[in-house]
Amino acid sequence: MKAIKFKGSNVVFAENQDEYKQLPAYYDKTQDEGVVVTCYKLSFVERLRVLLFGKLWLAVMTFNNPLQPQLPSTKKSDIFKMNDHE
């Protein structure tokens, strides 16, 4: 699985941090929640695993701070409201 740039992305986290993979994202600092949206491309084998087993694992580094709300989805419309950031 690879994080990919997408239409509307406006930042790349860890751009100059060799110890991390770069993370293209849409970051909305105007909202109180500080929304960050990322998009991932699954390999053929990963797509087969999801199809066969219906499971997706997610690891989040909290650096021992409280866990933030998350919303994994396969639909962009679940993340963005209609007509926003297409």
Count of helices and strands (H, E) across the chain: 2, 5
Mapped onto helix, strand or coil, the DSSP state of residue 36 is strand
Sheet holding 35-37, edge to edge: 11-13, 23-28, 35-37
Domain ranges of the chain: 2-68
Q: How many CB atoms lie within 10 A of CB 25?
A: 20
Is residue 81's pLDDT more than 80? no
Predicted model pTM: 0.81
The model's pLDDT over 41-77, given as tens digits with 9 standing for 90+, comes to 999 999 999 999 999 999 988 999 999 889 999 999 8
